[in-house]
Amino acid sequence: MKISLNWIKEFVDLSDISTQNIISKLTMSGLEVEDVIDQTNLYKNFIVGFVKEIEKHPNADKLTICKVFDGKDDLQVICGAANVKAGQKVVFAPIGTEIPNGKFLIKKAKIRGVESYGMICAEDELLLSNDHSGIMVLDEKLDSGKSITEALNLNDVILDIAITPNRPDALSHIGVARDLAALFDRDLKIPKIKLTESEEIIQNLAAVEISDPVNCPRYIAKVVKDVRIKESPKWLKDKLEKIGLRPRNNIVDITNLILHECGQPLHAFDLDKLNNQKIVVKSTKSETTFATLDSKERKLPLNTLMICDGKREVAIAGVMGGENSEITESTKNILIESAYFHPSSIRKTSKALGLSTDASYRFERGTDPNITKYAAERCAQLISELADGKVAKGIIDVYPKVINPKEIELRFSRTTQILGYEVIPEKIKNILSRLGLAIKVLEDDKLLVSIPTFRPDIEREIDLIEEIARINGYDNIPTVSKINITLEQKTDETEVDEKIRQTATALGFYEMINNPLQSEEDAALTGNPIKIQNPLSADMECLRTSLLSGALITISKNIRQGVKDLKLFEIGDSFTKTADGEIESFNDFNEKQNLLFVITGNTTSKTWNSEENKSDFYDLKGLVDSFLSKISLDNVLIDSYYSAANVIYDYYLTKNFKEVVLGSGGKLQNEVLKQFDINQDVYGFEFDLTALKSIESKPKSYKEPLKYPKIIRDFAFVLDKSVKYLDVKEFIKKKSSALLKVISVFDVFESESLGVDKKSLAFTLEYFDENRTLTEDEVERDFNNLIILITKEFNAQLRGK
Amino acid sequence: MLDKNITEIKESFYSDIKSVSSIKDVEDIRIKYFSRNGLVSQLFEELKDVVKEEKPILGKKLNLLRNEVTAYFEEVKDRISSSGLNKENKLDLTLPGSEYIVGSKHILTQTLDEIKSIFKGLGFSVANGPELESDYYNFESLNFPADHPARDMQDTFFVSKDFLLRTHTTPVQIRIMEKQTPPVRAIMPGRVYRNEAVSARSYCMFHQVDGIYVDTDVTFAELKGTLVSFAKQFYGSDLKYRFRPSFFPFTEPSAEMDITCYLCHGKGCKICKNSGWLEILGCGMVDPNVFKFVNYDSERYTGYAFGMGIERIALLKYGITDIRIFFDNDLRFLKQF
């Protein structure tokens, strides 16, 4: 919201206070100043110039060579505007001037071969308006060489203030002035009404009826007759232009002035266009269309609050007037509307129509029902002064249920309890009074505070405490240098995640964070997805059902960037629908935390001392096992199951704890990869972290390193290809003596030379005992026995040896 | 005389060889000391003129000198001429070492880790909550009025009438307070969603950390002290700060905390929009209406709450100009941190 500091100063005397101080106090009291235009500084180099003579530029049709007198010298200046003429007084920017719009510096320049010593300016270049139709032409009587800050009265400071939604009272100059009055401990001066009324009684000229008093608690009408619609005087136009409004005619400009002065939106109707000279406030009972005064036909939903006359709608209440009753040049008699509409009603209408106006913006945040009379009278006064109107006697004020100020008790002790320091009672009383609140002392510790209706945000004691804190300054609240740390139990629900991340990165994986919003096609790949009712776009209309598709999108993007070897992981939530129909409770869907690993490309790349190593299923499997071991789940019995293809994987591994599936993964189907434009193998494994975290891992305990030597034996067998490693291993485990502690495979070999459909498996066996040294004999016996048993069981043949 | 010369030549040799750094230097030394007319050979010439009685002693001394300096010279010569290669195998030690890949956490995780560790040191627990939330937790219990603009479709992703993707991590405050009686002191990191068009400056999902502390005697002064301590640990101890009044439905009084712009040190620049200040978090005293929803007695207990965006912090800290890069997961980006 734009605020003119000169305008503010009509209501509070700040003549001895620097602009910088005003800005900083406003920001530090919650009215954040986001931008400042200090005209005196901005226009300090611009002067009034006199165009003595002009001639066509020899090399450019649209350019003119002007001789401009700057008060001392005649300067040659090139001008591109069509409206430049000899004899004009213009705004002249000499060399060295910074042009506000675009912040560029005027330098001596050669334009199409002719030198130019300055610039003649248009309004938009000065940020005075958006007008770039031609140069600004000034009053001929102005002296050449005079500074324009003086000549055009450009000595204001315009502030752009961000008003938080709880402060509708600050959406006007008087509202901001009231805060400043409190901040600098000064009086607030509000313009007095000086109204001369005619003999004609308003009740004989118009009538008002409210048939929806909930949405329109108060409606005031004032009538002014025999007005002359014309251009507003300069002071009024200047005021509006400075805060970015375009002047229209005296009546509209006056209503705008009052809105920005005291925050009350007004509307002026052409009284003669109102059927039966009557106003009825009611809500629409059917869908209808209505032409607003911006010449647009608008569709009105059911229950839109409307202002009607005796026959038809004439305005959308609180939002915009209608074309059928607007002020035109021929308007003679005027009905001024000054009403209070319920905020949610106006918000609803404004949203439904997609139409926000200065009026609706204020009504939907909450205006003051009790300023309506003042605003109507001030408007009537200004119309009589600036449009020669005759103000009808009296006022129509339909206010079925008067809204009175609330009363709130405030304890000084509570103020201290919340803020952590004592604001002395005298100071508190002063702050509240300056903000326009009436106070009465109840007890030593207690005030009764009456809250005027312009502060709908102050409803409770805590709201008063905020006002005190805000005006006294947050800087005055001490910053403690000591805190109590109570010894309540501390927990960290992200601790396991952290351990997982550490493990994953140590294993060489990089963490991704993918967008959980994805296309239905991608989300449906791994489950029944939840749809967003109001998605940004079709490729973000569902929540992911697993982390897989997000990772595949990432892999695909990286491959396109030429990065083909990837080891990535992600921890994140996935969402699946567990019931049909609308989600009505937390039981209708399942949000769980997942962990995904993906591997693609080479696990080691080719370098001068290593061969490239293409990733495969065993890289994935090994990763999963070392991961489980690193996060201390190696001492819990986790089962592995191996399966052939499903929709996602060609073949895959599943990890279970008892009945609970902890996760699964394998080699992704080419069909799936094609969906993501990937044409290299990808291996992925996804854990259900929620399930994984529910397993209680046994605490680790120390195991003494082995003191006695191991005896190690190797053997290799030729077996049918169909014999599985795990079966042989389990068989060895079952048949061997208790001294055999470790069985591992060290070679797998397939070759024609072994016979058709044969393979060789080579094992290393480690024998040892924690309490003694083994003898060669006892190992040899067991070893030889195993050879015989394996040969028999698997139809195997011992190799070599 | 010869005795003295032996000592001198020895000293001069060691001094010369100290500055040897190239094959050419080595050759110069060889010529100066070990060539036919070199200094060492000259000493042997001198030995001829020495009186008979002194010859054996000086001769022995001279031989010792020659052996010592020759051995040292050979060693230096070897080192210089085979620089980068070891002696036996002639390995080229300048070849690059084998590659060890240690992955890394996402930069947003790393930023969060830093924030977490500071607050844990200040006595805070860390809690999680769901991303798919109910209207009750996300809005109603946090004192958002029924027709608050945030509650309509413009800003929030809805999956049904009453369920939505949380727009902040603040609902976890309610979840913790429902479970536990004061004192409650925790931070709540997590992912949040806003129905905002994706651009360099905004994304439809991002990350936040909320915090809350409720107990008897929790004051605004303690809120300031705690957050200043956090900011100084995170941004540096010489930072300047300010608390500005603001508005949030769930806190009263509310504030925004600004720190001096780290780029321009308060002079005003593009990053801080010429104000010299950067807003880093929102905070305030927990609104008594919020306590009503969790059945806390607001006369007995007071509390503060705060919240900050992690992306914003990381953008500022690492000079990243496009928020989308966080979620592109381009390995060339991930590898940098």
Looking at the DSSP bridge assignments, the partners of residue A760 are: A718, A749
Name B164's Cβ contacts closer than 8 Å, sequence gap at least 6: B132, B133, B134, B135, B138, B156, B157, B158
Percent of chain A past pLDDT 90, that is, above it, reads 80
- Write the CATH number for A634: 3.30.930.10
> Mapping DSSP to helix (H, G, I), strand (E, B) and coil, where does residue B263 land?
coil
Which residue carries 């009231």 as its tokens? Answer: A178
Phi-psi region of A468 (alpha: psi -120 to 50; beta: other; left: phi over 0): alpha
Which pLDDT value is given to residue B154? 65
* 266-325 of A, contacting B, C-beta below 8 A: none
**Terminal C-alpha separation, chain A:** 93
CA A746 to chain centre: 59
Task: Answer whether residue A376 is part of any domain.
Answer: yes
Residues A21 and A53 in one domain: no
Name A35's Cβ contacts closer than 8 Å, sequence gap at least 6: A159, A160
Chain B positions in Cβ-Cβ contact with residue A492 (cut-off 8 Å): 116, 120, 125-126
**Is A344 in Cβ contact with B193 (below 8 Å)?**
no
Residues of chain B with pLDDT under 70: 82-90, 149-150, 152-154
Residues A122 and A269 in one domain: no
**Is A583 in Cβ contact with B160 (below 8 Å)?**
yes
Chain A positions in Cβ-Cβ contact with residue B124 (cut-off 8 Å): 490
When pLDDT is cut at 50, 70 and 90, the band that residue A48 belongs to is: very high
A417-471 residue pLDDT tens:
999 999 999 999 999 999 999 999 888 889 999 999 999 999 999 999 999 999 9
Which one of A513, A597, A598 makes the best mutation probe of the B interface by having the most chain B beta carbons within 10 Å? A513
Which CATH topology does B107-334 take? BirA Bifunctional Protein; domain 2 (3.30.930)
When pLDDT is cut at 50, 70 and 90, the band that residue A572 belongs to is: very high
Task: Answer whether residue A604 is part of any domain.
Answer: yes
Q: Six-digit token pair at A31?
A: 């009215």
- Nearest Cα to Cα of residue B222 among B99, B330, B304, B140: B304
Residues A778 and A732 in one domain: yes
Interface pTM, i.e. ipTM: 0.87
Cis peptide before B183 (omega within 30 of 0): yes
Which pLDDT value is given to residue B289? 96
Which pLDDT value is given to residue A191? 95
* 90-149 of B, contacting A, C-beta below 8 A: 95-96, 98-99, 101-106, 108-109, 113, 116, 120, 122-128, 130-132, 134, 147, 149
DSSP collapsed to 3 states, B115-155: HHHHHHHCCCEECCCCCEEEHHHHCHHHCCCCCCHHHCCCC
Boundaries of every domain in chain B: 2-81, 107-334
Residue B206, number of CB atoms within 10 A of its CB: 19
Contact A184, A371 (CB under 8 A): no
- Nearest Cα to Cα of residue B229 among B217, B237, B218: B237
Residues A659 and A570 in one domain: yes
* 150-179 of A, contacting B, C-beta below 8 A: 164-167
Chain A positions in Cβ-Cβ contact with residue B301 (cut-off 8 Å): none
Per DSSP, B101 falls in state -
**Is B221 in Cβ contact with A558 (below 8 Å)?**
no
Name A354's Cβ contacts closer than 8 Å, sequence gap at least 6: none
Which pLDDT value is given to residue B220? 97
Residues A178 and A298 in one domain: no
Residues A142 and A107 in one domain: yes
Between A61-70, A258-267, A272-281, B131-140, the lowest mean confidence (pLDDT) is in A61-70
Residue A578's domain comprises: 495-694
**Dist. CA B46–CA B68, nearest whole Å:** 19
DSSP collapsed to 3 states, A687-735: EEHHHHHHCCCCCCCCCCCCCCCCEEEEEEEEEECCCCHHHHHHHHHHH
Residues A647 and A787 in one domain: no
A602 contacts chain B (CB < 8 A) = no
Residues A49 and A36 in one domain: no
A182-236 residue pLDDT tens:
999 999 999 999 999 999 999 999 999 999 999 999 999 999 999 999 999 989 9
Looking at the DSSP bridge assignments, the partners of residue A489 are: none
**Is B247 in Cβ contact with A166 (below 8 Å)?**
yes
Which pLDDT value is given to residue A102? 80
Which pLDDT value is given to residue A358? 95
The stretch A469-491 carries a mean pLDDT of 90
CA-atom Rg of chain B in angstroms: 37
A539 contacts chain B (CB < 8 A) = no
Residues A526 and A662 in one domain: yes
**Is A494 in Cβ contact with B247 (below 8 Å)?**
no
> Mapping DSSP to helix (H, G, I), strand (E, B) and coil, where does residue A59 land?
coil
Q: Six-digit token pair at A49?
A: 């110039």
Residues A519 and A623 in one domain: yes
> Mapping DSSP to helix (H, G, I), strand (E, B) and coil, where does residue A350 land?
helix
* Alpha carbon of B244: minimum distance to chain A alpha carbons (Å): 5
CA-atom Rg of chain A in angstroms: 42
Residues A779 and A685 in one domain: no
* 236-255 of B, contacting A, C-beta below 8 A: 242-247, 252-255
Which pLDDT value is given to residue B89? 60
Residue A225 to residues A197, A314, A334: CA-CA distances in angstroms?
Answer: 11, 20, 6
Residues A142 and A173 in one domain: no
Which pLDDT value is given to residue A616? 94
- Decide if pLDDT at A133 tops 60: yes
> Mapping DSSP to helix (H, G, I), strand (E, B) and coil, where does residue B275 land?
coil
A403-420 residue pLDDT tens:
999 999 999 999 999 999
**Dist. CA A135–CA A146, nearest whole Å:** 18
> Mapping DSSP to helix (H, G, I), strand (E, B) and coil, where does residue A323 land?
helix
A277 phi and psi angles, rounded to 5 deg: 45, 45
Task: Answer whether residue A191 is part of any domain.
Answer: no
- Write the CATH number for A114: 2.40.50.140
Which pLDDT value is given to residue B41? 85
Task: Answer whether residue A487 is part of any domain.
Answer: no
A595-619 residue pLDDT tens:
999 999 998 888 888 888 999 999 9
Structurally, chain A folds into a number of domains equal to: 6
Task: Answer whether residue A169 is part of any domain.
Answer: yes
| Nearest residue in A to B130, CA atom | A591
- Write the CATH number for A211: 3.50.40.10
**Terminal C-alpha separation, chain B:** 69
Which pLDDT value is given to residue B87? 54
Chain B positions in Cβ-Cβ contact with residue A608 (cut-off 8 Å): 95-96
Looking at the DSSP bridge assignments, the partners of residue A334 are: A224, A270
Task: Answer whether residue A702 is part of any domain.
Answer: no
**Dist. CA A586–CA A583, nearest whole Å:** 8
